Amino acid sequence: RPLGLKHCTALLSRAGPQPSLKGRPRPLGASAAAGCRDVMLTFLVQLSFFCLGLAGIIVSVVSFVLAGQRKLERGIEEYARAVRAWPAASAQLQSASSVALHADADVAGASPSKVELKGLSESDPFRGTKEGEILQGSAYQAFLFRAGLAPELPLAWTTLKPLEPSATPRPSTLDEPGPEGFLPEANFSRMEALSDMARWGANTTLTLMIGGSRIEFEVAPLVRSVAHFEPGGVYDRCPDLGGWETSGQKCWVYERLKALCVQVAVDASGGWRLAPRVPGLNGSYGCSYQGGSWQALTYEKVAVGPPHLDRPTNETVAFDDFSVEVRSAADPLFTALEWTYGTMSFGWSQADEDILGIVLMVLGCVFIVQPCVQFGWRFRKRQEHMRKAADHYGLRGGGRLSASGGAGGGSPARWRGGAPDPERVGMRDAADPDPEEVAS
């Protein structure tokens, strides 16, 4: 009889020799064990091929669905539409007579301060990149107001890869290093508990003035500490995050205010207002995508010294590198961020997705056909073996033993191995007793 998966599982589960009916050990044959190992290995290989084929078919279906959505083509169309509408929006932003940011920090000895923002022109963020080759004919010149140090790469554009890496650093758009003294120094040891998992310090009220329009922001902390739970032992990631652990497995990560960037638009009265990009989310007027939340404030992690009594010691931070930007909500940059989910990559074209789907479908079918054929072959062999066994032992219908070996019933039934039926041994000439003799 050929070995099957079920029988091999039962054989290999024996840890050692098993007692037989006569009490003598009955060891597992070496040939049977080797055959079972081959069967198990073949089963695992076939199962792996089947899973790979099924995964390839599923991914190919997903690729065909994405190809039907035409994400790249529609994204390029929306971006080109935003570029065509940009000159009018840029002219509106350039018409602003002055842009200034006022800060009033709740710090001892600090007085209200003010910084003027300068109008700047920057090149298209896609210019000179691989994505720029796809967006041919959609170049534009960005305009914004900024104060402070210009970032090395504008905000979320760090995922863009230049066609030719430049050996010279990106030049700064401002001569002065930043609004030095605009924000006062803050200390992590003077934070107040906002909740069990958050602490704020040096709360500051920011007010933006664009021409005659006054825009007030919610109170924002200059420094903050946010806690989360970290398991102990080798899975503790708190030191890698630059935080410190306290009682209760809390990991506190300390941050300071790094930048402020907002989107603005002209309202019906001709004044300026903040422009939320997500309906119902009033705080989504920032420039940082961050999963579609569009955060306006950017915080930077700070490595603090050893804490004393759950507080860091001697940790005073300055904000000389703080920067603030004001951009138009019609900037094509934000359209690109929306369509690429913050990655600045429009993805594959419809033709590329179709080709990928066809290749994966073919590979999936090749991988999945082989185990299916193997399973069908083994099933057919098993059925043939069972039929031969039934013919050999005289089994008929449901595996029951027949009363006679032929149609005429001339030969007695046989047991396994050709032996007579033990229930009929010595009963050849037996006859039923006479009822009258039994009664007498």
- Give the Cα-Cα-Cα angle 254, 216, 114 (nearest 5 degrees): 75
pLDDT confidence of residue 164 = 47
pLDDT confidence of residue 233 = 67
pLDDT confidence of residue 310 = 53
User: What CA–CA distance (Å, rounded) separates 147 from 178?
Assistant: 7
What's the whole-number mean pLDDT along residues 71-99?
88
With cut-offs at 50, 70 and 90, classify the pLDDT of residue 162.
Answer: very low
**Percent composition of the chain: helix, strand, coil (DSSP 3-state, to 5):** 35, 25, 40
User: What CA–CA distance (Å, rounded) separates 119 from 112?
Assistant: 23
Its sign, for the CA torsion 13, 15, 21, 24, is: positive
- Pairing state between β 142-147 and 118-122: antiparallel
What's the whole-number mean pLDDT along residues 268-284?
90
pLDDT at 87 over 80: yes
What 8-state DSSP symbol labels residue 419? P
Its sign, for the CA torsion 361, 367, 369, 372, is: negative
pLDDT at 118 over 80: yes
User: What CA–CA distance (Å, rounded) separates 201 from 185?
Assistant: 11
Q: Which of the residue ranges 126-140, 280-294, 328-342, 386-400 would you say has the lowest mean pLDDT?
A: 386-400
- Those residues whose C-beta lies under 8 Å from the C-beta of residue 409, and which sit 6 or more positions away, are 403
What's the whole-number mean pLDDT along residues 345-372?
84
Of 200, 199, 198, 201, the residue nearest 186 (C-alpha): 201
Query: Residue type at 54?
Result: L
Q: Which of the residue ranges 66-75, 162-171, 410-419, 428-437 would you say has the lowest mean pLDDT?
A: 162-171
pLDDT at 154 over 50: no
Measured in whole angstroms, the distance separating CA 214 from the mean position of its chain's CA atoms is 41
Q: Which helix (H) or strand (E) holds 382?
A: helix 350-393
Report how far apart, in Å, the C-alpha atoms of 102 and of each of 99, 114, 285 are: 10, 4, 18
pLDDT confidence of residue 163 = 43
pLDDT confidence of residue 46 = 84
pLDDT confidence of residue 224 = 92
Give the pLDDT confidence of 290-328 residue by residue, as tens digits: 888 899 999 998 877 655 545 555 578 888 888 899 999
Query: pTM for this structure?
Result: 0.65
What does pLDDT average to over the chain? 76
Give the pLDDT confidence of 230-254 residue by residue, as tens digits: 876 656 777 777 777 776 778 888 8
> Are residues 214 and 205 in contact, defined by beta-carbon separation less than 8 angstroms?
no
